[in-house]
Structure 1
Amino acid sequence: MKIALFGATGATGIHFAQQALEQDHEIVAIIRSPQNIPESLKTNLNFQTVHASIFSPSDLAGHLKNVDAVVSCLGYRGSEAWPLRTMKFYYPSAKAIIQAMKEAKKRRFVAITMWCTEPEPDQSLWSKFLFRLFLGRYQDDMRAMEKYVDTEREHIDFTIVRPPFLNDLPPTDVDFTTCPGRMFVPGCLAYISRADVARYMLCCLRDTTTIGQTIALGM
């Protein structure tokens, strides 16, 4: 499978690319800067990079014409994440990617958001408070992204993965616990490795039962 990968210079994206290449997939990494890409990826014949703006459908469409699927591991770190700032990253980038996919006539899309983009009735008040305090703008922007992607289900075969907090531990072979349609996975740890998230996203590409679903992920 030939996969267009967004966020290939981030930790989750690097894990995804490495695991996909190990399974003999091809990666087209759509990036702004090659500085953070490991040398092992740069020298792999099945890994190529192209430069484009993630907010410009016209920039992106041409790079998607010869791929089988599109994966977004995009993440954001910066001052816009704090509660008094408005974040405009996840929704506008997803909108541009999907518009480019439609122009290129591509359907399969797997992306990542996070747990609790909206509160749930059985979520504790303390959890709701902490998420809102520290991740409120992430929640708003990611939820806008999720809602937009859902409106495009006629044109896009999407899977959105909602993991808990991410860490940098190595991948495991532990089975995943998933809750389609839920904002979190009750009884699971509130953290997961980026490598395991990448492993699950790669599984989703092969699993057609995940199409059209937004899935809370846990272990």
Structure 2
Amino acid sequence: MTILVVGASGATGRLLVQQLLNRGREIRVIVRSPDALPEEIRSNANLSVIEASVLNLSDAEMARHVEGCTAVASCLGHTLSFKGIYGQPRRLVTDATHRLCNAIRVNAPEQPVKFVLMNTTGNRNHDCHEPISFAQQCVLGLLRLLLPPHVDNEQAADYLRTQIGQDDNQIGWSAVRPDGLIDTGEVSEYELYPSPIRSAIFDAGKTSRINVGHFMAELICNDEVWRKWQGQMPVVYNKVVIE
């Protein structure tokens, strides 16, 4: 099983790569700077590094890098700086998702390739009934106007939901929605829901990045987990321990 990961040098992406390597999988990563990866990842014999910006690859190059992969995972996101939020490319996640799916189709895989997208609880799954308060609707409307990365996340998931859909014979997908991301050193217990159980704006929960990486790896490597969440947008929360 070979897995392609984009956004592998990010705070969550590197944790996903480590989880997959721990499972003995062969991993390809597309990164602009290999030095951004931790040494323990770079030195792993099961890792192949493609040094490039994912959106600068030609269609032929993209198809070649996707060829032979049973899964593709995207942990792409915008850098939290003025240039990262308001500069180009504003549709980084959406355009990468679109191009990676096209590359999968070019290779005409005999079995559907898993596409796992890291997303956000700020994005609603319009295939489900996910009601939100009027106040949250207003805040999300402002975010769409003021924060291009929020729109990018919405459009990336909508592409999978509406353009790939539920019955594609070449691509299966799942869009993982963590809540407020935090850094912890180890995988802990976490809970999964089809839809948010709390307000992402006014009552956000916490989700460890390493738990997101663990769940994404489970989706890729565990067929039972995949069957449960394929075509859905599962929400991940750290389990609250009541003492």
Do the structures match in fold with TM over 0.5?
yes
Which segment drifts farther, 110-119 or 156-165?
A: 110-119
For residue 192 of structure 1, give the secondary structure of its aligned residue in structure 2.
Answer: strand
One-letter identity of the residue aligned with 1:117: N
Matched with 1:102 is 105
Distance 1:200 1:123, change over 3 A: farther
Alignment of 1:174-213 (within 5 A): 174-179=189-194, 182=195, 184-186=196-198, 190-205=205-220, 206=222, 207=225, 208-213=227-232
Secondary structure of 2:35's counterpart equals coil
Q: CA deviation at 1:190?
A: 2.2
Deviates more, 1:35-44 or 1:185-194: 185-194
- 2: CA distance, partners of 1:84 / 1:53: 16
Following superposition, the deviation at residue 93 of structure 1 comes to 1.2
Contact 1:5 1:73 in 2 (8 A): yes
1:215 is aligned to 234
Letter in 2 for 1:191: K
CA-to-aligned-CA distance 1:161-216 (integer Å, 9 cap, x gap): 0111212112333132322xx3x333885221111100111111222221111222
- Whole-angstrom distance in 2 between the partners of 1:38 and 1:84: 27
Q: 1:111 aligns to what?
A: 117
Separation (CA, whole Å) in 2 of partners of 1:131 and 1:216: 21
**Is 1:61 aligned to residue 73 of structure 2?**
no
Shift of the 82–124 alpha-carbon distance from structure 1 to 2, 3 Å rule, reads farther
2:51 corresponding residue in structure 1: 51
1:85 Cα deviation (Å)? 9.3
Instruction: Compute the TM-score of the two structures, normalised by the length of structure 1.
Output: 0.86
% of aligned pairs identical? 25
**2-structure distance, mates of 1:131, 1:79:** 20
For structure 1, list consecutive stretches of 5 or more residues without a partner in the other structure.
Answer: none
Name the CA shift for 1:59/1:85 in 2 (closer, same or farther; >3 Å). Answer: closer
Residue 143 of structure 2 contacts residue 150 of structure 2 at CA under 8 Å; is this kept in 1? no
Amino acid paired to 1:204: L
Comparing 156-165 with 167-176, greater Cα deviation is found at 167-176
Say what the alpha-carbon RMSD is for the aligned residues: 2.7
SS at match of 2:173: strand
Aligned positions, number:
216
TM-score (norm: length of structure 2): 0.78
Mapped contact 2:66–2:100 kept (Cα < 8 A) = no
